[in-house]
Amino acid sequence: MKTLRTADPTQQQIIAHLRTTEQLLAEAATLASGRAGDAEITPMPDLGLPHNVRRIHGGFFTGALYQWDSGPVPLIPVDATVNLCGVTLFRVEDDFEDEQDFRRRVEAARETITKASSYVWNFTSGNHFVILAENRTPGTLPEGRYLVLHASAAEFKNQYNGLYPASGNWYSDEIRILAGRNGRYLRYLTGKPAERFARVATMLESYQRERQQLCATLIMGSEARIHDEVLSLLHYGMPDTSSIAIGCQWLRDDQPRSLLLTRPGAPLYLVRFATDGPNRATTQHGDVTLTPHGLGVHALEPLQLAYHDGHLSIAGRRLSLDQSLAGQDFVAIRGFDPDTDLARIFDDCPGVVETQLQQIYSYHRTSENP
């Protein structure tokens, strides 16, 4: 496992659990292929707790790239709860009258999506959002207003056709289980089901981009009010058929920029990352640069993770696998001080800030009903 230069207490505890995940992935790769398999997990500076308790129970956390080598035999660890999620940045017409007008347009888009489309509205789920931001400094980006969308392809989550390990879905009868110690295990697919899983994940890359573009058009009222798509990046998905990124962007050398998300009301940063740093990884499609997508969620108390059949003990609390950490009183988004935390992030993922976007209005889970 690659290590972080500066790991906080939550990350130190998570890394200990990830070592077991890495070992189980390598063992599963060996079982599936019939030869010595291997695995490697690369944590990012925003390594932290996901909202999804089932994902934690399965040994997967947010802010890392999970890779394995099972040779020609496909393998998918299902409790990584794969889906496609990312951020899209649009330069838009500066025609919002005020915050009320912004919310009115977002709610109108929500009504259209909910009542007249096959999409699932999820901009108030988890850490998803719609943000209107402003660049006030000429440079890499023109001055003006920008729309930032963060959401996932919710239509392929818990449904029968989805990729989450939902009971009774298309692959539920194909799941294999590798038991480990202390309640740990790895649930995975191999063979034809794993091949199909990877095909769906690949298909969702273009689907997710079109989904974001449609939602942006509905919020703005017309495509004419969108000047251009500045970037569209995934931070959750499968970079190739033998890897899963969770809260971790994988940048090609021809697209070294990404948007660093912070917290409600705080600036967002367009960062150009170096392509020769220690955060490089090799995929089936070539080398990529790994970058954090945000700050990550840390625990306000010692984790004390304990794995049980059907539930997880965390920080002295018993949580069912269907529960969420969102809104729990013992977790929070990490604090952010640009004078110190940007340097900490760049220690592991070298880069420079090209543009700072100021948040003007934000629509997210905790602001849905102000």
Check residue 264 and give its pLDDT. 82
In tens, the pLDDT along 100-154 reads 999 999 999 999 999 999 999 999 988 899 999 999 988 889 999 999 999 999 9
Residue 370: band (very low, low, confident or very high) from pLDDT cuts 50, 70, 90: very low
CB neighbour list of residue 340: distance below 8 Å, 6 or more residues apart: none
Q: Report, as an integer, the average pLDDT of 17-34.
A: 97
Q: Does residue 101 lie in a domain region?
A: yes
- Report the percent of the chain where pLDDT is more than 90: 91
Amino acid type, 253: D
Provide the 3-class DSSP secondary structure of residue 294.
coil
Where helices occur in 70-154 by DSSP H, the ranges are 99-116
CB neighbour list of residue 222: distance below 8 Å, 6 or more residues apart: none
DSSP 78: G
What does the alpha-carbon distance between residue 16 and residue 75 come to, in Å, rounded to a whole number? 24
In tens, the pLDDT along 165-176 reads 999 999 999 999
Q: Does residue 359 lie in a domain region?
A: yes
Asked if pLDDT for residue 6 goes beyond 90, the answer is no
What does the alpha-carbon distance between residue 359 and residue 330 come to, in Å, rounded to a whole number? 27
Dihedral angle sign, alpha carbons of residues 5, 85, 229, 240: positive
Q: Does residue 140 lie in a domain region?
A: yes
Nearest Cα to 354, choosing from 89, 73, 175? 89
Q: Does residue 235 lie in a domain region?
A: yes
In tens, the pLDDT along 37-74 reads 999 999 999 999 999 999 999 999 999 999 999 999 99
Please give the residue range of the domain that contains residue 270.
9-367
What's the whole-number average pLDDT of the chain?
94
144: exposed, middle or buried (C-beta count within 10 Å: 0-12, 13-18, 19+)?
middle
What is the token pair recorded at 205? Answer: 């890359």
Residue 367: band (very low, low, confident or very high) from pLDDT cuts 50, 70, 90: low
pTM of the model: 0.95
Task: Give the number of domains in the chain.
Answer: 1
Provide the b/e sequence for 96-132 (b: ≥16 CB within 10 Å): beeeeebbebbeebbebbeeeeebbbbbbbbbbbbbb
In tens, the pLDDT along 254-272 reads 999 999 999 888 999 999 9
Asked if pLDDT for residue 19 goes beyond 50, the answer is yes
**Helix count and strand count (H, E) for the chain:** 5, 21
HSE of 134 in the Cβ direction (CA atoms, 13 Å)? 8
In tens, the pLDDT along 200-227 reads 999 999 999 999 999 999 999 999 999 9
What does the alpha-carbon distance between residue 92 and residue 221 come to, in Å, rounded to a whole number? 11
Q: Does residue 2 lie in a domain region?
A: no
HSE of 57 in the Cβ direction (CA atoms, 13 Å)? 22
Residue 369: band (very low, low, confident or very high) from pLDDT cuts 50, 70, 90: very low
Check residue 2 and give its pLDDT. 86
What does the alpha-carbon distance between residue 186 and residue 324 come to, in Å, rounded to a whole number? 20
Q: Does residue 4 lie in a domain region?
A: no
Q: Does residue 3 lie in a domain region?
A: no
What does the alpha-carbon distance between residue 304 and residue 315 come to, in Å, rounded to a whole number? 5
Q: Does residue 271 lie in a domain region?
A: yes
Are 363 and 123 within 8 A, CB to CB? Answer: yes
Check residue 138 and give its pLDDT. 84
